[in-house]
Structure 1
């Protein structure tokens, strides 16, 4: 009997308007604002739309026309709001969404549009509303689940996770270091959720930088690992250190293996925590027979499983694991509601007489899963004894030759009561465990860790030890070797990383042509000079006109995916790829440090960049990506800075980015040159709230040394701002010292971000680009600071000093 995929009823048009519903105090307005900025859509609010249509506020309308007339008018305006804003909007609904007519309209709207229920903890809503109203509001709020098709858990995280591990250190330059605000964490979570439900996230990441760790889904990587985490384990250990889960797998498989009371809320919170703490794709798996639960009649069990699986889809997880041997109605229901979530179709062959790999029924299983539209097919087989690897390899070859492309990626392995038989059986999504958590209830991943599995690839000569570098004219004291070496060890890679001083392209070429060359971080003078010699560049590097990461292209074919999956392998490089992590490191630090009062407003916010080299280019680009449309540049050598400004103004014009209109008239140019520090700030523009100093510790190639200080008149922003100093030797540059004094005596609203913060972020993204593996961020930052402190001790005794940013 042939099978076919049921229609996906939640595959909405990517530009379909997104509706937000939920209780008062749930955060809909803030999330709507963040979402509209991210997706570049109009934000439509119910209050504003009512006033726009009627010419009156709600209160004014009730006063003039009475409550009955208001109820009728309000219902009509609500329906009109949905109907007239069907595309390109984020629509924030007020409490009118609880009215029966509004609920009917939302149910109809949800057939063609995402309607997202914003769920927030009762404790947080209670802080915002009168206690007498909370219980009644939350009870009514349950109706929002009935008229929505997606759900976002607006997590409150008291831990403040994500702030720099160095925030509390006593290093001279890091006083009042910026950890991410709660608003930043919410923005990152919600925009990731929006990217998934609109289907734009992976596509955008691929187009911008195909070597980015987020650009290639785990099922299409050369090797990937799924860290299995059971819900029961999370509930038994509520004080787990989430930082210790970092980079333990390419994705998290959350196994729902217990059914406590208030299960829906518990699962939603755990999904939100994984998103917030780890930021990796989530595989959502509902176990068929939860341990410790009473046996239920088949109908009751199927109903419960269907609700739990639908909850995973509503939460917008990346993957839903679906057992295809389950009830057909349950399977079809999940496939109908899959939306943008990918489906992993499973076949578990249990017991001593498990179906052999080369049995034709295995081929038929793959065929039926493929016909159902599964995105990944996973077949796991219980193995009582050792099985030959050649048999599983032969099965893979049969799949490859039997089915035409495109065919879903195959995950296939044997397991026993001791765990997966061999970590090399499955190339992708291999189940692994956390090295320090013994989970007696999980027989699928009790042996292997991601580190151990990856180490084995090198021992089996499937991957090769490579040599990585930081290259430039002043890199001998770079922090990169220590940070990268620590990350290599954490991930189980026998690579080396060293700093090599060189200043000509011929010197650079001699290093890069080696078969063992893995990649390099580039410092001055190579960031701009290397550009004409690169075959492929990321979107960002092209826009900036400079690169700081150089990678060899070794794929057997000409496809970028093949080149990306050839990382960690030796051989002759056909050509080279260039990317830029300087800009994204600066952007990350700015986002962490910007206060809500200084949130970027494209028409008003101004930024100031000091310098005109490769780092200055990255800083300008970071400001533009942040939404700043008025970037001022100062450099001691005027000719250099004019060239940089012309580059970005030309690029912005090609992208349709303009500065808009200021008080002194319209300006299409987003970059403007400041000719002198002695002149007042240009009239008609706000004083800068973001200042980025991009000059090295000592003069290199005509650039000014890091002895810059801000004219005091330029520091008069009434809301303060952020100063990012990229040089870190010395850590307290004249600018940093000036800002410490200014903050203490004049304006405490300024935040200082030192060079160690920025260089740590650069190293993290560079590691991921060079290896294709998730970076152990906390470890790398800790090693960077400790290495810097050790260098300070050595410099104190020898009088040596460091230059550059690497």
Structure 2
């Protein structure tokens, strides 16, 4: 049977409409969405004034309430009709009217219409209690005229204050790390939501960095695990969200409880999972929720359909549907799935469950395949009547007899003791947190992800590998401690060590080992290794430097085959290079930059100190942030010009491609790239520290120092300090120092000395924060597993503190020896 037509897949550039009540955060989200998708933001208030020449208040006072109401709805409809593509449209109070909601229902047939809502108490804080209740009651009608919804979770992150010691620098000495700038969490959450409903997320990640965790969906990884979390548990958690980090490749949210205000409760839990864990979500409505009263089949179908539709509206990554349910219910889900992938289930829960060798099992798989399911999940209750070989034979026969394309299969037996063996299914194996009691989910989960993954090594399906940080000056590197802690956390028997080497021959000798797993590269290899790599990520090619080197061991030339050969030993036919320096810098910039310094492509200016591999990454980070005016200062001017030339040529090629696709911008013939006009020169070189800042450009609000604080290749360390005139931005800014040995570089010392005299002040991000982010991304690239971020950051700080104490003790001992020699 052919699958039902998917009614919720829209054109990639279809405008996205935001509706909801006052205080829901639509305007802020609209601004964030427009920046993320590089689209134009259209607000109802501005559009009304543009068309009528009057503000709403002026129009009401001039023409009266009746005429205003008619004009208001006409403007609303025109706003939708004339902005069908390339926009984020923020609707105001007009969307509460019946006529406007009728227009939105029609619009939702061709465009995403997103209902934005949030915690009631957050909205109530903005208005009178009675008005809030009335508004929130009316707000529910937005569910009837929208096809998606987004729960705008309150962002509790502490913004970096305008003054005070912790606002100007990050110091790991006292154990405090900087909080993200306000609304950073919201920005990341909403960007992830938009990527899901537009379908651009995984595709973009794959094209840019095909070995990144985000680029390979869990069902296509060599091994993947679904962390099962029940709604009933989440409403009364005995663990913290941080405890679930890196405990699975995705989360299966099981709706097993029907509390009051169910829709808002579920929407909030989906938002919490996205924010705290950042992994794909499988949304599953349990067939027979425990503790709930039995309902007639018709009522149960209606309730389940409402819940499944809610999951699709929330833009979950996967929707799980029982294919043995009512056909109308199944077809409804398939018709409205949008960009969500469908997991078609066949669960045999009772005694006498259908045997694997029964022909009906093959028919079930064929039906799921014909319905267009993206994944087929087949699970049966086992009473020791099914040897493991039966399931293996079933899987083998499917591969041999079912024509392609075959949806990935998740299949396993379970009993009252749990899953029969963690290795029955290769993908989406159900797991729990090791500290969760089994009775909460005893039928399908007795194993935790670390224990299951460790078993792969014990059975020699995966191999212990050797990882490195390689470069001419890596003796003080913090990477071994962070990676080793992450390996221990995931029960991986890998090793990670720092090895000093400075020639390509010595590098090649290390990488030629069958047990070589990968390496983080420092100077002098970041640029020199580029010609020797068979495959490079989009980012590495653009930057012209790599900092992560991986062996390619796949049996075919397919990059997915290579990706799934990670954690396996053997000869490497070639090598892959990626660059995570830039994204680590970008993450730190986003956390520290203040809202008043948000990047404006045509105005914002960045300054990069240095011209090596890290400087290239810093320039690329500024570009990805939207900055199109970058200045470079380097002690050797010729090197700065070479880096500027590289990026100006690259930016020109991007501009040419953009112009070919979308034309040019008006009469000045300036091409647009990523929504911003691209200047003829993106990068410029500053020749001297004594020259005044170029008067035609704003003073820099982002400064990134990429010069080593210790000697490299026998050269003395750079002793850079900023000219004070370059630090006179009227809105302050951010200084990111990449060096951390010593932590207090000349630049950091200078900023500490001058900060009290600077108004507004500057935020200083030291090297420890950046190096932790680099290690986290490198771990995920090298192993293909989610990194325990909180643990790695904590180990980074503690290891640095231990190094400082050791150095102080050594200095004290040397002084004592010198003092003793002098006395004698």
Normalized against structure 2, the TM-score is what? 0.93
CA contact (8 A) 1:608 1:633 kept: yes
CA contact (8 A) 1:172 1:732 kept: no
Rounded Cα–Cα distance in structure 2 between residues aligned with 1:683 and 1:703: 34
Q: Does 1:128 align with 2:140?
A: no
CA contact (8 A) 2:218 2:250 kept: yes
Q: Does 1:484 align with 2:496?
A: no
Q: What is the aligned partner in structure 2 of residue 732 from structure 1? A: 744
Q: What is the aligned partner in structure 1 of residue 300 from structure 2? A: 301
More displaced, 50-59 or 253-262?
Answer: 50-59
CA contact (8 A) 1:212 1:769 kept: yes
Q: What is the aligned partner in structure 2 of residue 803 from structure 1? A: none
Q: CA offset at residue 386 of structure 1? A: 6.8
Structure 1 residues 612 and 386: alpha-carbon distance in aligned structure 2, compared to 1, 3 A threshold: farther
Deviations 1:640-668, CA, capped at 9 Å, x for gaps: 1110010001101111198999xxx9951
CA contact (8 A) 1:433 1:445 kept: no
Q: What is the aligned partner in structure 1 of residue 151 from structure 2? A: 153
CA contact (8 A) 1:720 1:750 kept: yes
Q: CA offset at residue 699 of structure 1? A: 3.1
**How many residues are matched?**
792
CA contact (8 A) 2:170 2:176 kept: no
Q: What is the aligned partner in structure 1 of residue 495 from structure 2? A: 496
1:345 match: secondary structure: strand
Rounded Cα–Cα distance in structure 2 between residues aligned with 1:170 and 1:162: 10
Q: What is the aligned partner in structure 2 of residue 221 from structure 1? A: 221
Q: What is the aligned partner in structure 2 of residue 236 from structure 1? A: 236
| Residue 786 (structure 1) aligned to one of 789, 793, 798 | 798
Q: CA offset at residue 350 of structure 1? A: 1.7
Q: What is the aligned partner in structure 2 of residue 403 from structure 1? A: 402
Rounded Cα–Cα distance in structure 2 between residues aligned with 1:628 and 1:134: 40
Q: What is the aligned partner in structure 1 of residue 776 from structure 2? A: 764
1:411 match: secondary structure: strand
Rounded Cα–Cα distance in structure 2 between residues aligned with 1:566 and 1:778: 27
Q: CA offset at residue 118 of structure 1? A: 0.2
Q: CA offset at residue 410 of structure 1? A: 0.3
Q: What is the aligned partner in structure 2 of residue 697 from structure 1? A: 709
What runs of 5+ residues in structure 2 fail to find an aligned partner?
656-668, 813-824
CA contact (8 A) 1:636 1:703 kept: no
Rounded Cα–Cα distance in structure 2 between residues aligned with 1:631 and 1:301: 60
Matches within 5 A, 1:543-622: 543-622=542-621
Deviations 1:118-174, CA, capped at 9 Å, x for gaps: 0111111122223342112111111111100100000004366999xx999995677
Structure 1 residues 352 and 321: alpha-carbon distance in aligned structure 2, compared to 1, 3 A threshold: same
Structure 1 residues 672 and 177: alpha-carbon distance in aligned structure 2, compared to 1, 3 A threshold: farther
Deviations 1:453-505, CA, capped at 9 Å, x for gaps: 11000110101111111100001121111100111111111011111110000
Deviations 1:222-250, CA, capped at 9 Å, x for gaps: 0000000111111122x641111000000
Structure 1 residues 702 and 641: alpha-carbon distance in aligned structure 2, compared to 1, 3 A threshold: farther
Rounded Cα–Cα distance in structure 1 between residues aligned with 2:644 and 2:372: 50
Q: What is the aligned partner in structure 2 of residue 110 from structure 1? A: 108
Q: What is the aligned partner in structure 1 of residue 93 from structure 2? A: 95
Normalized against structure 1, the TM-score is what? 0.95
CA contact (8 A) 1:284 1:320 kept: yes
CA contact (8 A) 2:580 2:777 kept: yes
Rounded Cα–Cα distance in structure 1 between residues aligned with 2:788 and 2:176: 24
Structure 1 residues 324 and 130: alpha-carbon distance in aligned structure 2, compared to 1, 3 A threshold: same
Structure 1 residues 47 and 766: alpha-carbon distance in aligned structure 2, compared to 1, 3 A threshold: same
Q: What is the aligned partner in structure 2 of residue 180 from structure 1? A: 180
Structure 1 residues 681 and 159: alpha-carbon distance in aligned structure 2, compared to 1, 3 A threshold: closer
More displaced, 667-676 or 702-711?
Answer: 702-711
| Residue 719 (structure 1) aligned to one of 712, 731, 734 | 731
Rounded Cα–Cα distance in structure 1 between residues aligned with 2:350 and 2:407: 26
CA contact (8 A) 2:20 2:139 kept: yes
Q: What is the aligned partner in structure 2 of residue 287 from structure 1? A: 286
Root-mean-square deviation (Å): 2.2
Deviations 1:727-748, CA, capped at 9 Å, x for gaps: 0011111111111222223235
Deviations 1:68-116, CA, capped at 9 Å, x for gaps: 1111111111111111111111111001011111111001111111100
CA contact (8 A) 2:155 2:185 kept: no
2:213 match: secondary structure: coil
Q: CA offset at residue 412 of structure 1? A: 0.3
Q: CA offset at residue 704 of structure 1? A: 6.4
Structure 1 residues 169 and 637: alpha-carbon distance in aligned structure 2, compared to 1, 3 A threshold: closer
2:235 match: secondary structure: helix
Rounded Cα–Cα distance in structure 1 between residues aligned with 2:153 and 2:471: 44
CA contact (8 A) 1:652 1:658 kept: no
Q: CA offset at residue 798 of structure 1? A: 2.6
Rounded Cα–Cα distance in structure 1 between residues aligned with 2:482 and 2:687: 39
Structure 1 residues 666 and 94: alpha-carbon distance in aligned structure 2, compared to 1, 3 A threshold: closer
CA contact (8 A) 1:690 1:723 kept: yes
1:609 match: secondary structure: strand
Rounded Cα–Cα distance in structure 1 between residues aligned with 2:267 and 2:172: 42
Structure 1 residues 170 and 772: alpha-carbon distance in aligned structure 2, compared to 1, 3 A threshold: closer
Q: CA offset at residue 797 of structure 1? A: 2.5
Rounded Cα–Cα distance in structure 2 between residues aligned with 1:432 and 1:42: 43
CA contact (8 A) 2:170 2:766 kept: no
Q: What is the aligned partner in structure 1 of residue 8 from structure 2? A: 10
Q: CA offset at residue 401 of structure 1? A: 1.6
Q: CA offset at residue 389 of structure 1? A: 2.6
| Residue 719 (structure 2) aligned to one of 707, 714, 717 | 707
Deviations 1:169-191, CA, capped at 9 Å, x for gaps: 99567798532133111110001
Deviations 1:710-753, CA, capped at 9 Å, x for gaps: 11111111111111001001111111111122222323531111
CA contact (8 A) 1:167 1:176 kept: no
Rounded Cα–Cα distance in structure 2 between residues aligned with 1:96 and 1:252: 38
Q: What is the aligned partner in structure 1 of residue 17 from structure 2? A: 19
2:253 match: secondary structure: strand
CA contact (8 A) 2:19 2:116 kept: yes
